[in-house]
Amino acid sequence: MTNISRRGLLRSGAAAGVLAATGLPVMAQAKKGGRLRLGLAGANTSDSWDGRTHSDTFMIMAAFGCVFDCLTEISASGELVGELAESWESTPDAKTWTFKLREGVTFHNGKPFGADDVIESLNMHVAEGSKSAAQPIVAAISEMKKLGEHEVQMVLESGNADFPFLMSDYHLLMYPAGQVDEAIAKGIGTGMYRAETLDPGVRFLGKRVDSHYKDGKAGWFDEVEIIAINDASARMNALMTGQVDAVNRVDFKTEPLMKANPMVKIFEVTGNQHFTFPMLTNLDPFTDVNVRRALKHAVNRQELVDKILQGHGAVANDHHIGPANQYYAADLEQNEYDPDKARFYLKEAGMDGLSVDLSASSAAFAGAVDAAQLYQASAKNCGIDINVVQEPADGYWSNVWIKKPWCASYWSGRVTEDWMFSSVNEAGAPWNDSKWVNDRFQKLLIEARATLDSGKRREMYREMQELDSKEGGTVIPMYANFVDAASAKLANSGTIGNVFQMDSSRLIERWWFA
Amino acid sequence: MGALSRIVLHRLFLGLLTLFVVSIVIFTAVNMLPGDFAQAILGQGATPEAVTAIRRDLGLDQPPVTRYFQWLADVLHGDLGTSFAQANFVSFTGSDAEKASVLAQIGPRFANTMFLAGVTAAIAVPVSLTLGILAALYRNSAFDKVANVFTLSSISSPEFFLAYILILFLAVLNPLLPSLSNIYDGMGLGERLEKTLLPALTLTLVVTAHMMRMTRAAIINLLASPYIEMARLKGMSPMRVIVRHALPNALAPIINVIALNLAYLITGVVVVEVVFVYPGIGQLFVDSVKIRDIPVVQACCLIFAGAYILLNLLADILSILSNPRLRHPK
């Protein structure tokens, strides 16, 4: 059983149940009971149960990780398993997908879950005037058919081997058909916890439902309370004084103090989150690939990891795929800090020196302005004069990102290579923040999407990462770890998800009080 | 008393005028900040279509002057408007309009802030009056100096610093009080008081010096008056001289300072609320400025300005009542 590859499950998710069963011996130690209290940053007064609007940690943990379910789920070790879908299969062209849904599941208001709920919940994202971030995923479905009470068929516009992975996205929550408004107002889902109270930007309280299809595998706490603590010092204090049991986004400055406290455990994973400096490749001087290469060799990556992330990260290689992705090419030639190479590429571009503006703000990522200044210092040795422009954090994403020729930015990463590349590198994608268009890359992107053979996909994604790294329009110096902390009283299976912070936002279901 | 009610009416009218000016200033200032609600709420995920859709839904595509007068007309009808944050959410669902009103959003937060201000005042006012009277009584003694140095150094320290010092001593080293003041509806009064105590103590340290020093100065000022000397010559005890004879005449400035500090407790507690995660109006205000939720920002500012105006008015009325010469003008 151990040699099932993550991708092996793609065409048929029937093995999902077996996989879950192999996790049982560890779970036998898990204990039921207690009230879990989380102190989370990322809460807003505009929070609601509408999955289309979710983008910040508080609501992702409360909805995706607690009150609602998706069709599929990515387990802590990275396999795709069924959540509300029991199994799925596709035609060989990866265009038509059939999902078998779990039977006997009910929403918190007693309504049974079925095919209609899936269709209506997905259609929410493409409704007129929808502002959903998952709109492109659902828009790629040309037809949804109810084959039976518990069977749905989806026909895609073009083949997509990753489609079941996309169904695990935290926006694509399942709501009760015909009662969506009520479900959004009150938080009615199929999750292991029933929403008792949601005070937007302040507090959430959930109570364990009596019986659930994940019983015995997850959901150990009787109650869950999430307290919004956006201020970093207050959050760390709350954990240190035992007011909460776990917090997210550990403040690197106080991390050594927390490590010294025997009552607190830090848990840290390297995921796909990466900090970037995208250049608009349709504007001079970034139209010239040699200028882009010179800039890629003018940044001291290890220095940024050490000084900006205080070591909580890893050096990246100018492409958008991260260690949590299946086809991450770790063996590509690393773009190193090399003043000679940088000068060589400048000469290739027909320049003696280069002077460029780099816009940065703390809105892009914590320490972005400092990172830009370190970049400026290391580039000086390469004959490149970087002028750091400090931009206001307010309105940064609307006024600077994809507007200014070169700026700081970040990506939290995506679970699949195709999703990441089609968000940031596909020609015409709204978030293509470098406007980089490469014919070979675009061809591979479309070909890989519809290929089910794992070996071939690995080759194609490797070549795409290489193209992005060598020719792409984005300098990507580092991956930033997800660093969270919990009380020593909490226990887990030993495997922590790295798709998102807080055990891929599944801490509430997966952890327990030792 | 006719004169008094004339003063009150006059002051109330000026107060309304102030509120009007404040609302214009705030509206202009928030509009001058870079970015608007649509951009702030969508963040990195903003696409031009989504930004336009939200702006259209909320009327943000109208020119600012139109929007301001629209808002003003609503306020004059007693409607503080709809919070953008909640309206944006309602525009998806078409339900639960009750929740969307600014009043419904601010109400519970304001009640929390008033609770914190009340607890603080209940501690700070008696403490500072007592300290002030004692300092006046034993002026230039070791007690007077210690009290002065202590209160002055606490008022000179930034609030968050005081807050962390208190957390360090009362929550971390000696776990007596919770460092997190996340009170919520339906919490018992006892628990609520316990959770509120640390922020209240922090604020007490901040406001005590001002009130205590004013009490001390006002009393000492009077101690040189002939009638105090007369009282002393009658053989009264120093304590009685101060409490019975000096204090009533020193009330006017003391009341003024207390009112000023009470207003501060309502409007100036943002930092303390953030440090202790206290769900008061200050946090809501900061959150709303961050996402450019103009209706909520406006309403918060009106409440802040209103609190200052009313408390100052109250202070003036009380000073007049405490002074027979003002009470019966010739």
For A397-440, write each residue's pLDDT tens digit. 878 888 899 999 999 888 889 989 988 888 877 788 899 999 99
What is the pLDDT at residue A214? 93
Give chain A positions within 8 Å (CB) of B84.
Answer: 46
Contacts of B33 in chain A (CB under 8 A): 394-395
Residues 18-47 of chain A whose Cβ lies under 8 A from any Cβ of chain B: 39, 44-46
The answer to whether the beta carbons of residues A192 and A208 sit under 8 Å apart is yes
Query: Do residue B53 and residue A229 have CB atoms under 8 angstroms apart?
Result: no
Domains of chain B: 2-100 (no CATH), 109-279 (1.10.3720.10)
- Do the chains contact at B184 and A203, CB–CB below 8 Å? yes
CA A389 to chain B, closest CA, distance in angstroms equals 16
CA B167/CA B201 separation, integer angstroms: 11
pLDDT score recorded for residue A431: 82
Identify the weakest region by mean pLDDT among A62-71, A270-279, A356-365, B67-76.
B67-76
Decide if A44 and B85 are in contact by the 8 Å CB cutoff: yes
How many angstroms away from the CA of A212 is the closest CA of chain B?
A: 28
The predicted pLDDT at position B1 comes to 54
Residue A17 has pLDDT above 70, yes or no: no
> How far is the C-alpha of A299 from the C-alpha of A343, rounded, in Å?
13
Closest-CA residue of A relative to B170 is A241
Q: What is the ipTM of this complex?
A: 0.78
Using the predicted structure, report yes or no on whether residue A11 has a pLDDT greater than 50: no
Q: What percent of chain A has pLDDT over 90?
A: 61
Q: What is the CA radius of gyration of chain B?
A: 24
A203 to chain B, any CB pair closer than 8 A? The answer is yes
pLDDT for the residue B294: 83
- Residues 371-410 in A contacting B (C-alpha not used; CB under 8 Å): 392, 394-399, 401, 409
Task: State yes or no: pLDDT of A12 exceeds 70.
Answer: no
Q: Nearest CB to B179: which of A228, A241, A431?
A: A241
CA separation for the pair A376, A382 (Å, rounded): 10
Phi-psi region of A155 (alpha: psi -120 to 50; beta: other; left: phi over 0): beta
How far is the C-alpha of A88 from the C-alpha of A151, rounded, in Å?
9
Among partner residues B88, B93, B105, which is closest to A185 by beta-carbon distance? B93
Average pLDDT over residues A191-196: 94
Three-state SS for A410? strand
Type and span of the H or E element at A35: strand A35-40
CB < 8 Å to B277, chain A:
227-229, 231, 234, 238
B54 contacts A44? CB cut-off 8 A? no
Domain A70-188 is found in CATH 3.90.76.10: yes
Q: Are A254 and A46 in contact (CB under 8 A)?
A: no
Q: Is A261 on the interface with B (CB under 8 A)?
A: no
Residues 224-253 in A contacting B (C-alpha not used; CB under 8 Å) = 227-231, 233-234, 237-238, 240-244
- Report pLDDT for B99: 53
In the predicted model, what is the mean pLDDT of residues A152-167?
A: 92
Of A46, A233, A401, the CB nearest to B44: A401
User: Any idea where the domains of chain A sit in the sequence?
Assistant: 30-68+191-269+484-514, 70-188, 274-480
Kindly state whether A200 is in contact with chain B, defined as any CB-CB distance less than 8 angstroms: yes
Q: Flag if B172 and A228 touch (Cβ within 8 Å).
A: no
Closest CB from A229, A230, A395 relative to B39: A395
Nearest 5°: the CA angle B8, B13, B19 is 120
* Strand, coil or helix: A100: strand
CB contact under 8 A, B53 and A399: no
Smallest Cβ–Cβ distance between B175 and the set A53, A129, A241 belongs to: A241
User: How far does the CA of residue A291 sit from the closest CA of chain B (Å)?
Assistant: 27
CA-CA distance, A255 to A189, in Å (whole number)? 36
Q: Do B96 and A185 touch (CB under 8 A)?
A: yes
pTM beyond cutoff 0.80: yes
Nearest to B266 by CA among B280, B254, B279, B277: B280
- CATH 3.40.50.180 matches A274-480: no
Which chain A residue has its CA at the smallest distance from B96's CA?
A: A185
Nearest C-alpha of chain A: how many angstroms from B305? 23
Q: Using one digit for the tens of pLDDT, what is the confidence trace for A83-114?
A: 999 999 999 999 999 999 999 999 999 999 99
Chain A: give the shortest CA distance to residue B262, in Å: 25
> Which fold is adopted by the domain A30-68+191-269+484-514?
D-Maltodextrin-Binding Protein; domain 2 (3.40.190)
Pairwise CA distance, residues A365 & A309, whole Å: 10
Residue B175: its chain A contacts at CB < 8 A?
241-242
| Bridge partners of residue A223, in order along the sequence | A35, A207
A46 contact residues in B (CB cutoff 8 A):
41, 84-86, 88-89, 291, 293
For the stretch A144-150, contacts whose Cβ atoms lie closer than 8 Å and that sit 24 or more positions apart, written own/partner, are: A144/A118, A144/A119, A146/A115, A146/A116, A146/A119, A147/A98, A147/A115, A148/A115, A149/A114, A149/A115, A150/A100, A150/A101, A150/A102, A150/A103, A150/A114, A150/A115
Chain-chain contact of B287 with A201 (C-beta, under 8 angstroms): yes
Least CB–CB distance from A394: residue in B35, B50, B185: B35
pLDDT at B90: 56
A107–chain B Cβ distance below 8 A for any pair: no
Nearest Cα neighbor of B281 from B83, B41, B99, B111 is: B111
pLDDT less than 50: residues of chain B: 92-98
* Contact map slice: A 53-72 vs B, CB within 8 A: 53, 55
Q: Is A383 exposed, middle or buried (0-12, 13-18, 19+ CB in 10 A)?
A: middle
Residue A384 has pLDDT above 80, yes or no: yes
Q: Which residues of B touch A234 (CB under 8 A)?
A: 179-180, 274-277
Comparing CB atoms, the residue among B39, B274, B293 nearest residue A231 is B274
Sheet holding A151-156, edge to edge: A85-90, A96-101, A151-156, A141-148
Q: Cβ–Cβ of A46/B184 closer than 8 Å?
A: no
pLDDT attached to residue A258: 86
Residues of B whose CB is below 8 A from A185: 93, 95-96
**Which residues on chain B are in Cβ contact (under 8 Å) with A228?**
277
User: Which of these ranges, A15-24, A41-50, A137-146, A496-505, has the smallest mean pLDDT?
Assistant: A15-24
- CA distances in angstroms from A286 to A21, A344, A380, A473, listed in the order given: 52, 16, 18, 8
The region of weakest confidence among A55-69, A377-391, A420-434 is A420-434
How far is A174 from B324, CA to CA, in rounded Å?
Answer: 72
CA–CA dist A8, A79 (Å, integer): 10
pLDDT at A1 (0 to 100):
34
A412 at B interface, C-beta within 8 A: no
CA distance B278 to chain A (A): 9
Q: Please give, rounded to a whole number of angstroms, the shortest distance from the CA of B201 to a CA of chain A.
A: 17
Of A55, A227, A396, nearest to B277 by CB-CB distance is A227
| pLDDT-wise least confident of A68-82, A263-277, A329-343, B3-17 | B3-17
- Which residues of A, range 151-190, sit inside 8 Å of B by Cβ? 180-182, 184-185
